[in-house]
Structure 1
Amino acid sequence: MSDRISPAPLTNAAEYTVSEISGALKRAVEDQFGHVRVRGEISGFRGVHSSGHAYFALKDDRAKLEAVVWKTTMARLRFRPEEGMEVIATGKLTTYPGSSKYQIVIESLEPAGAGALMALLEERKKRLAAEGLFDAARKRDLPFMPKVIGVVTSPTGAVIRDILHRISDRFPLHVVVWPVRVQGETSGSEVCAAIHGFNQLERGGSIPRPDVIIVARGGGSLEDLWGFNDESCARAVFSSDIPLIAAVGHETDWTLIDLVADRRAPTPTGAAEMAVPVKAELEARIASLGARLRGCMSRGMDRRSHAMRSLARALPTADAILALPRRRFDDATGRLERSLETGTHRCRVRLDGIRLSPAVLVRRVTHLQRELERFDARLPVAQSRRLQDCRARLPQPERLARLLGRKLQHDRTAFEHKARRLRPNSLFDRVTQLGALYSTLEARRSRAVSTLLALGRSNLSQAERMLNSLSYKAVLRRGFAVVHDQTGQPVTGVEAIAAGERLSLEFADGRVDAIAAGEAPVRLKGGKRSQSSAEEQGQLL
């Protein structure tokens, strides 16, 4: 039994292609829903496509509607769509035949009331506050006298004219304006770029770097100011190295950059007043301080002059100061005269009471003679000890001779001084004898010193000859050499030399470096090596 295909049942229904069905559905949807307003929550928004279009979906708790915003419409939106934002989209429904989906082509987009934007704004505030962007501790003080002010605002609005006019009235200085759009989708990114641009300027460049930045805009609705609530804009203000004043909107308008900025001004004019002081007030204050300073200096000088005059009146005169020392000087002068007279009288009485007789002189001469004999007995021993001490401390013979000469001269002078004290003529002979005895002793002493010096020179010469005969320098002059290792120590045997070791050969007239080459030397029986073995196994280069 062969398989056979049964013929299709006959029908009068018209046949359509897939494209015809898709086109018919597209026309039906567009005719029925040509212009609609749809309320929903943005879902799946990942930013603007590289083509400039934006694709996302609007959803509620039961359904989801695909949405597309063309490039031209995206540029006209007053705020930037964000994930989770509740919006009201105005446009027309259509289908996309390529995937059998229907979607809304958005022509305008607005937040679903101020409550949605406020809820989004509050959520951002909480998140940024948790990160510490609003902390008052990190806010910096504004410079008191800025030289350059940077203004980020629209160059065509009334705000920049108000700021320039206020600055010129208070304190004219250099103002650099960075033009941006202050409303629309790109306003936040442009303000962010302006803040970064001012911070990247270098000091001393062609465009001066501002000392303070003013971000300003006039009043408006929450949607108009939404660009200044952008998170990237707030982070740019936080990371700015230049102090920043935020002046966005009116007194009651608050944005994220107002909370992050170092100072918040209620109006752009108020920001200009915060940025610069009043020149006239400064001049008046300086003049007032100068007058106070001059008055203070004058009063201080007057007080010091008065105090000096009071102190001068309290000081005693020169006569009063010198009165007591003069009195003491006069008293000392009178006592000195009386003391001299009294002392002279006492000396005269004592001299008159002294009786000079031959017996007294003989006793004195005898005593001196015994003293001289005792000194004469001790003199050789003392002289020997003195010579030994001098030889130990002063080995130079010439210096020793000079010391002994000075000692002899000193002894002679002392002896002559004692001799002059014995003035009577009866002692002249005794003194002459003592002088002759002293001359004899001096001659003996001179001979003894000469003998000792000659003996010392002879011993020194013998020691020098012995040293020269025992020194290895004499051996080196006969053609020998001393081998030293790397540390400078002499090498006493071949077993202490390794192959490749650096050596030093000392000759009588200098040293040369050498390197031990070849194998290690072989120690032969009895501690000796043959000459051929030494030549085969190593040599000194």
Structure 2
Amino acid sequence: MSMFPNHDSPTNLAEYSVSELSGSIKRTVEQAFDQVRVRGEISGYRGPHSSGHAYFSLKDDRARIDAVIWKGSFSKLRFRPEEGMEVIATGKVTTFPGSSKYQIVIETLEPAGAGALMALLEERRRKLAAEGLFEVGRKRPLPFLPHVIGVVTSPTGAVIRDILHRIADRFPVHVLVWPVKVQGDGSGEEVAAAIRGFNAFQVGGVIPRPDVLIVARGGGSLEDLWSFNDESVVRAAAASQIPLISAVGHETDWTLIDHAADRRAPTPTGAAEMAVPVKADLEAAVAALAARLKGAATRQMDARRQGLRALARALPSLDQLLALPRRRFDEAALGLGRGLHMNTVNKRRAFERAAAHLRPELLAGRIAERRQRLTDVLRRAERVVERRIDQNRARLAAFDAALRATPSRILVRTGSARDRLRGLALRADTALAGDIGRRKALVLAQDRVLQSLSYKNVLSRGYALVRDEEGHAVKQAAEVAEGTAISITFADGSVDAVAGARSVQDAPTPVQATPQKRKATKPPPAGPDASKQGSLF
């Protein structure tokens, strides 16, 4: 039965437009399914759109329904949707008249039981563990006494107050707080950005770089702590160059950041206790060590003092040590006078013996002897000089004789060289004339070949060469049209002509050529080659 009335068959059904029918269906669906809870698996999720809305589908093993989360509702979700996650969606069903489709507008979204979240958590843990982010060998020890501590947590919760209070009680140090959201949409990105931000601080910069980091949050449900299971948070904790303490939840709460951190604290207060030691305990330990050191030093000094006294008792007295040297000194002092007197007597005797040999006559004889020796040396030197002069004079005379005989030798050598040069010149002229003759004969032979191949020899036998207006040779009569100006070249000159001229007036005036008798030539032989001979027309 048709919905709209037919003019041929009257009916009492109401008539609707497409918009009215779509609007009626939309209102009916929204009134019937104003608030529903749907359980299904997320399919086709690609993250929020650029507008902030999220579009995907919910499906089970037999059906599928489109779903949308508006931007305002998406920001209030406690965890982000993920592909393949089984969830329970609360919202209302509506239609989209533009394409005759229906969809559910989701207002709240929660996992379909803790088992689904735990399965997702376990799958993510295995994935990150396979990448080596949870290896024990990559974890770094915490500094014993840090100067600066960085804390990543909410600035308004009780966690930061507990951490600051515990650090102040144990060992007051400089604390830097990076405020972040610890729950809700975007909290994971803020925590990861805070860890990377602390690592980006420069050593010795305006803001001091922390020596240890604490990522802290109070207890809560699995959904409340879900931000610290975010993959970006785990990767940031694993990549941190600063030792990191994870203090998320209570002692029984475990998140993925606990596996990636260098140390896990059961509570935020426990993280503060791990970060710094107790100052009073350190002072007491230092005092005890100082007392022990003082006692050990005292006992050591007493022992050394007793040993020194024992050694002192074993040493002889000063008088005993100096008795023998003092006696030797006294004996040397007594013998010093006698020794000086005897030394003076000995020196005087030696002087007298030397003076006995120093007489004037002896000195005069020695001077005369030395003068005679000097005279003999001078005489020998004069004779040596004279011999050297005679030798050099003889050598110069020999050189002079050799130089006088040199011009005659040069003349003899010059004459022989001139005769040799003349012989070589004659041989060169003969060789050059022979080479020129050979080259001239070669050129003449080539010229004869060139003349035999020249077309002018053919013209001298009675043939003619026909050229067109551009000077190109015409080889066939078909190439010359009627009325075309041509040039005919003979052996003795050229004549201009017009192809196909009917009278003498139509032809151009020929150029007068000097008549020349030509020898009678035999006509070309008839045969197959006669057809290849060029023709005038």
Amino acid at match of 1:158: A
Q: Which residue of 2 aligns with 1:445?
A: 377
Residue 280 (str. 1) matches residue 212 (str. 2): no
Correspondence list, 1:223-302, <5 A: 223-302=223-302
**Rounded Cα–Cα distance in structure 1 between residues aligned with 2:390 and 2:63:** 133
Local SS of the residue matching 2:194: helix
**Rounded Cα–Cα distance in structure 2 between residues aligned with 1:231 and 1:275:** 25
**Rounded Cα–Cα distance in structure 2 between residues aligned with 1:47 and 1:457:** 122
Amino acid at match of 1:258: D
Residue 218 (str. 1) matches residue 218 (str. 2): yes
**Rounded Cα–Cα distance in structure 2 between residues aligned with 1:161 and 1:81:** 33
Amino acid at match of 1:170: R
Cα offset, 1:435, TM superposition: 8.7
**Rounded Cα–Cα distance in structure 2 between residues aligned with 1:38 and 1:201:** 48
Correspondence list, 1:421-460, <5 A: 440-449=372-381
**Rounded Cα–Cα distance in structure 2 between residues aligned with 1:441 and 1:298:** 92
**Rounded Cα–Cα distance in structure 1 between residues aligned with 2:32 and 2:119:** 35
Q: Which residue of 1 aligns with 2:42?
A: 42
Q: Which residue of 1 aligns with 2:155?
A: 155
Residue 126 (str. 1) matches residue 126 (str. 2): yes
Residue 89 (str. 1) matches residue 89 (str. 2): yes
Q: Which residue of 1 aligns with 2:113?
A: 113
**Rounded Cα–Cα distance in structure 2 between residues aligned with 1:456 and 1:164:** 115
Cα offset, 1:439, TM superposition: 5.0
Structure 2: which 5+ residue stretches go unaligned? 1-5, 331-353, 396-424, 426-537
In structure 2, do the counterparts of structure 1 residues 75 and 435 end up closer, same or farther at CA, with 3 Å as the change threshold? Answer: closer
Local SS of the residue matching 2:73: helix
In structure 2, do the counterparts of structure 1 residues 282 and 433 end up closer, same or farther at CA, with 3 Å as the change threshold? Answer: closer
Cα offset, 1:106, TM superposition: 0.6
Deviation track 1:16-75 (CA, whole Å, cap 9, x = no partner) reads: 443333223323322332221111111111111121211111112222211101111112
Q: Which residue of 1 aligns with 2:102?
A: 102
In structure 2, do the counterparts of structure 1 residues 447 and 288 end up closer, same or farther at CA, with 3 Å as the change threshold? Answer: farther
Q: Which residue of 2 aligns with 1:18?
A: 18
Cα offset, 1:92, TM superposition: 1.1
Amino acid at match of 1:126: R
Residue 73 (str. 1) matches residue 73 (str. 2): yes
**Rounded Cα–Cα distance in structure 2 between residues aligned with 1:137 and 1:454:** 105
In structure 2, do the counterparts of structure 1 residues 72 and 313 end up closer, same or farther at CA, with 3 Å as the change threshold? Answer: same
Local SS of the residue matching 1:76: coil
Local SS of the residue matching 1:99: coil
In structure 2, do the counterparts of structure 1 residues 91 and 443 end up closer, same or farther at CA, with 3 Å as the change threshold? Answer: same
**Rounded Cα–Cα distance in structure 1 between residues aligned with 2:275 and 2:133:** 22
In structure 2, do the counterparts of structure 1 residues 177 and 444 end up closer, same or farther at CA, with 3 Å as the change threshold? Answer: same
Amino acid at match of 2:119: A
Q: What is the alpha-carbon root mean square deviation over aligned residues?
A: 3.9
In structure 2, do the counterparts of structure 1 residues 223 and 434 end up closer, same or farther at CA, with 3 Å as the change threshold? Answer: closer
Deviation track 1:349-399 (CA, whole Å, cap 9, x = no partner) reads: xxxxxxxxxxxxxxxxxxxxxxxxxxxxxxxxxxxxxxxxxxxxxxxxxxx
In structure 2, do the counterparts of structure 1 residues 290 and 71 end up closer, same or farther at CA, with 3 Å as the change threshold? Answer: same
Q: Which residue of 1 aligns with 2:194?
A: 194
In structure 2, do the counterparts of structure 1 residues 443 and 286 end up closer, same or farther at CA, with 3 Å as the change threshold? Answer: same
Cα offset, 1:193, TM superposition: 1.6
Amino acid at match of 1:72: G
Structure 1: which 5+ residue stretches go unaligned? 1-6, 331-419, 464-524, 526-541
**Rounded Cα–Cα distance in structure 1 between residues aligned with 2:381 and 2:294:** 91
**Rounded Cα–Cα distance in structure 2 between residues aligned with 1:215 and 1:49:** 31
Local SS of the residue matching 2:110: strand
**Rounded Cα–Cα distance in structure 1 between residues aligned with 2:391 and 2:320:** 81
In structure 2, do the counterparts of structure 1 residues 326 and 67 end up closer, same or farther at CA, with 3 Å as the change threshold? Answer: same
TM-score relative to the length of structure 2:
0.60
Name the stretch that deviates more: 201-210 or 51-60.
Answer: 201-210
Local SS of the residue matching 2:240: coil
**Rounded Cα–Cα distance in structure 2 between residues aligned with 1:197 and 1:124:** 25
In structure 2, do the counterparts of structure 1 residues 241 and 452 end up closer, same or farther at CA, with 3 Å as the change threshold? Answer: farther
Amino acid at match of 1:448: R
**Rounded Cα–Cα distance in structure 1 between residues aligned with 2:281 and 2:43:** 58
Structure with max Cα Rg: 2
Name the stretch that deviates more: 307-316 or 47-56.
Answer: 307-316
Correspondence list, 1:155-194, <5 A: 155-194=155-194
In structure 2, do the counterparts of structure 1 residues 296 and 458 end up closer, same or farther at CA, with 3 Å as the change threshold? Answer: farther
Deviation track 1:462-508 (CA, whole Å, cap 9, x = no partner) reads: x9xxxxxxxxxxxxxxxxxxxxxxxxxxxxxxxxxxxxxxxxxxxxx
**Rounded Cα–Cα distance in structure 1 between residues aligned with 2:237 and 2:390:** 102
Amino acid at match of 1:447: R
Q: How many pairs were matched up?
A: 365
**Rounded Cα–Cα distance in structure 2 between residues aligned with 1:448 and 1:16:** 162
